Amino acid sequence: MKITEKIIEKHGLKKEEYENIKKLLNRNPNLLELGIFSAMWNEHCSYKSSKIHLKKLPTKGKQVIQGPGENAGVIDIGDDDAIVFKIESHNHPSYIEPYQGASTGVGGILRDVFTMGARPIALLNSIHFGSPSHPKTKSLLNGVVSGIGGYGNCIGIPTVAGETKFNETYNENILVNAMAVGHAKKNKIFYSKAKGLNKSVVYVGSKTGRDGIHGASMASAEFDENSEEKKPTVQVGDPFTEKLLLEACLELMKDDSIISIQDMGAAGLTSSSVEMASKGSLGIELELDKVPCREENMTPYEMMLSESQERMLMILEDGKEKHAKQIFEKWDLDFVIIGKTTNTKKLTLKYKNKIEGEIPIDALAANAPIYDRKWSKKKNEKNTIDFKKLKKIKIEDALIKILSSPNHSNKSWITDQYDQMVMCDTAQRSGSDAAIIRIHNKDKAIAVSVDSSANYCKSHPLTGGKQIVCENWRNLITVGAKPLAITNCLNFGNPENEDVMGEFAECLEGIKKACEFLNYPIVSGNVSFYNGTNKKNIFPTPVIGGVGLIKKIFKPIGHSLKKDKSFLILIGKTFGHLGQSCFLQENYSITEGKPPEVNLTNEKNNGEAVLKLINENLIDSAHDVSNGGLLVALSEMTISSNLGVKIEKPKKLNNTIEYFFGEDQGRYILEIGERNFKKVEKILKTGNIFYEKIGVTQQEFFEVEGELKIAKNDLFKINNQWYNNY
């Protein structure tokens, strides 16, 4: 079969890349080999546009056991416990088929975590949709939410936190990012690096079908006109099989049978075998006749590029095959030795006793292209908003507008569809700043949260990058956890566009600065480029997933108010920054302006002070002030509890709108019992932390003196109607 220009193009390879392939091979590739190159060299597997930027990120720290480069990151949480976690995007598949796209996204990220020997203990997600009035949004939202729930609920891992946002920038390209967190024993982590010659390469899990072979289907339709047209098929998730795979893997991992293990994710058998061999500087030989297939007459090309779900590749120690097979058969799963490791440093593919393809591993991995793409710096936006020209609005009306908007409405319509309690260690469910998961049978816990701020990142990528790391950090602090490390999912537009690449470079710079300052390293992540349509790229949307540690958990602290007549204090200075605020967006549809400054020193000091207060058991509830500002944060505390608040009129700022809706960073609201107030003041004063007493808790009413007084139940209703009516 002749490799035409069309075929090369259909495989997403550039002309120069094809020339490069020929050079590396010293000959022309055949179709199978071309398919393999195209899979390994695409953006998703090779990170060719992002690699040089990602290299700059801080990935080390005392707490880091394994940074980026493995299936997931691993951190130390003391004793013999480790936490394994990662976030991944499934944006494009979810737009095509929301239920299956989202559910296979969850399945994929879970495999990344349990391949490393961890039992998954929590799922999170960050989902972004287009405008609620866009005709597709409703069914996409429904499909994605039930897909996420469908997978997590069935496999029995609690979905405990996430974020849901609407913005017309995602009209044609929604974002579905899923994060999984697992628990492992520190000395029982499994890696993907192959070791040893002539070891059995074993295929386990589901059978291989023609799922997601895009290049293949298109190419074959082109040059094989007589054959029945093969449509690209959507991957269907099978959480039941994944549950079996999870249990079987963990059972086998109890002893030392496994040398190396890798899930088959994107580019399936190809990327898993190449990755194992590449890390171990070995070769791999596969006999494709042995691959368990679901459909008849599958070709080597299809087997190598299939993205069928719920499959794994393992390399086993000599003599352990029988024992391992027994375990997988107990769980009704396929177990087949399909090849062996070699010293050739080549990927060798045999089919029907013939070598159908042979490629040096280095050509696929180490020598994959890397691009230093052109990028341009974002021009500083001038703060053009003339507040005097805006129509006057009452604080109460503005607040109601925000609380009843799609972006700020209560998310229980979503979270009630997720099993948050299975495994019985969820000490704090969705609804607070971070979820808390207790480590099974111990009295320590981890806190988890995912965050993004696309508007900030669009307006000023550098500040936006810093801000999301800080917001995520704050969310863990407010539940009393020491933030340890993060994973990140970088959702951006077309990297061949200089502005998009600029957003990427600057966001990353911001993330880097904040992570370094806060000693909050990045241990895993994922890049998703090409989000958007030909002409319109999505807003830059990096998503941060953080994990923190609560060394000894007594009672989970959240943001719902606990006692009547407590003091409410605000940590951090309020300047009243309204640029990029949701006050302007929801009330005036103004999206211009700069995001609030991020002062890393203040962030760190304020956060550490709050953590100290919580650790000394002086705080009854805590909430960070972010999107929406002070009044929205106070409303959230009220709505999630049985109490109201009575807030004093601000003394210094004369513009109450700025005071109540400004989105200045580094701020927290704390509820403190009167008897603890002196102690708290002392600690804050010694730490040189700016704070002000803003009011007290009370029964029944949400009140700002002289401005507004709303019954608590009404506030609840305002916040809870949107999803139910949508």
Partner 1 sequence: MKSCVIVFPGSNCDRDIATALEKMQFKNKMVWHKETALPKSDLIVIPGGFSYGDYLRSGAIAGKSIILDEVIKAANSGCLILGICNGFQILTETGLLSGTLLRNKKLKFINKDVNIKVMNNKTKFSSNYRLNQVLKINIAHNEGNFFTNEKHREQLKKEDLIAFKYCDEKGDISERVNPNGAMDNIAGIYNSKKNILGMMPHPERMIDEMISNTDGINLFKSLLN
Partner 2 sequence: MEKLFQLNSKKNKLKFSVIVTLKKDVLDPQGKVVQNTLANLGMDNLKSIRQGKYFEIDVEEQDQVKAEEKVNQMCEKLLVNLIIEDYKIDKVK
Ligand X SMILES: Nc1ncnc2c1ncn2[C@@H]1O[C@H](COP(=O)(O)OP(=O)(O)O)[C@@H](O)[C@H]1O
Helical packing angle, 461-477 and 498-518, nearest 10°: 40
Closest distance between ligand X and the C-beta of residue 431, in Å?
5
- Which range of residues in 180-188, 428-436, 479-487, 496-504 is near ligand X by CB under 6 A? 428-436
Give the residue with the Cβ less far from Mg ion, 423 or 561.
561
For 177, residues 6+ apart whose C-beta sits below 8 A from its C-beta are 87, 88, 89, 90, 91, 105, 125, 126, 127, 450, 489, 491, 526, 543
546: closest CA among 422, 435, 657, 413? 435
CA distances from 117 to 181, 202, 469, 627 (A): 12, 17, 28, 38
Could you say whether residue 331 binds partner 1 (CB under 8 A)?
A: yes
- Which residues between 464 and 503 bind Mg ion (CB under 5 A)? 475
Give the residue with the Cβ less far from ligand X, 164 or 580.
164
Could you say whether residue 425 binds partner 1 (CB under 8 A)?
A: yes
Q: Is 53 an annotated catalytic residue?
A: no
CA distances from 541 to 391, 457, 619, 620 (A): 31, 7, 34, 34
Contact 7, 222 (CB under 8 A): yes
Residue among 36, 109, 127, 179 that touches ligand X (CB under 6 A): 127
Q: Is 90 an annotated catalytic residue?
A: yes
Contact 511, 470 (CB under 8 A): no
CA distances from 231 to 172, 211, 216 (A): 22, 10, 10
Could you say whether residue 69 binds partner 1 (CB under 8 A)?
A: no
CA distance 110 to 367: 29
Paired with 422 in beta bridges are none
Residue among 186, 193, 243, 411 that touches ligand X (CB under 6 A): 411
Residue among 275, 356, 433, 663 that touches Mg ion (CB under 5 A): 433
- Which range of residues in 85-93, 109-117, 432-440, 510-518 is near Mg ion by CB under 5 A? 432-440
Contact 201, 284 (CB under 8 A): yes
| DSSP characters over 474-502 | HHHHTTT-EEEEEEEEEE-S-TTSHHHHH
Closest distance between partner 2 and the C-beta of residue 240, in Å?
6
- Which range of residues in 2-10, 78-86, 110-118, 408-416 is near partner 1 by CB under 8 A? 408-416
CA distance 103 to 106: 5
Query: Per-residue x/- marks for partner 1, 120-159, CB under 8 A?
Result: --------------------------x--xx--xxxx---
Closest distance between Mg ion and the C-beta of residue 433, in Å?
4
Could you say whether residue 173 binds partner 2 (CB under 8 A)?
A: no
Contact 274, 305 (CB under 8 A): no
Give the residue with the Cβ less far from partner 2, 234 or 696.
234
Could you say whether residue 638 binds ligand X (CB under 6 A)?
A: no
Could you say whether residue 332 binds partner 1 (CB under 8 A)?
A: yes
Catalytic residue among 11, 53, 90, 623: 90
Query: Per-residue x/- marks for partner 2, 227-266, CB under 8 A?
Result: ---xx-xxxx-x-xx-------------------------
- Which residues between 520 and 579 bind partner 1 (CB under 8 A)? 553, 555-556
Could you say whether residue 97 binds partner 2 (CB under 8 A)?
A: yes
Could you say whether residue 132 binds ligand X (CB under 6 A)?
A: no
Phi/psi at 463 (5° precision) = -65, -40
Q: Which DSSP letter does residue 197 get?
A: S
CA distances from 366 to 33, 40, 274, 279, 288 (A): 17, 11, 11, 10, 25
Q: Could you tell which of partner 1, partner 2, Mg ion, none binds residue 236, using a CB distance below 5 to 8 A set by kind? A: partner 2
Catalytic residue among 44, 183, 408, 559: 44
CA distance 265 to 112: 9
Query: Per-residue x/- marks for Mg ion, 606-625, CB under 5 A?
Result: ------------------x-
Closest distance between Mg ion and the C-beta of residue 103, in Å?
27
**CA atoms within 13 A of residue 239's CA, in its CB half-sphere:** 21
Name the site residues for partner 2 (rule: CB under 8 A): 96-97, 99-100, 206, 209-211, 230-231, 233-236, 238, 240-241, 294-295, 308-309, 332
Catalytic residues: 44, 90
Interface ranges with ligand X (CB under 6 A): 125, 127, 159, 161-164, 411, 414-415, 430-433, 451, 475, 626-627
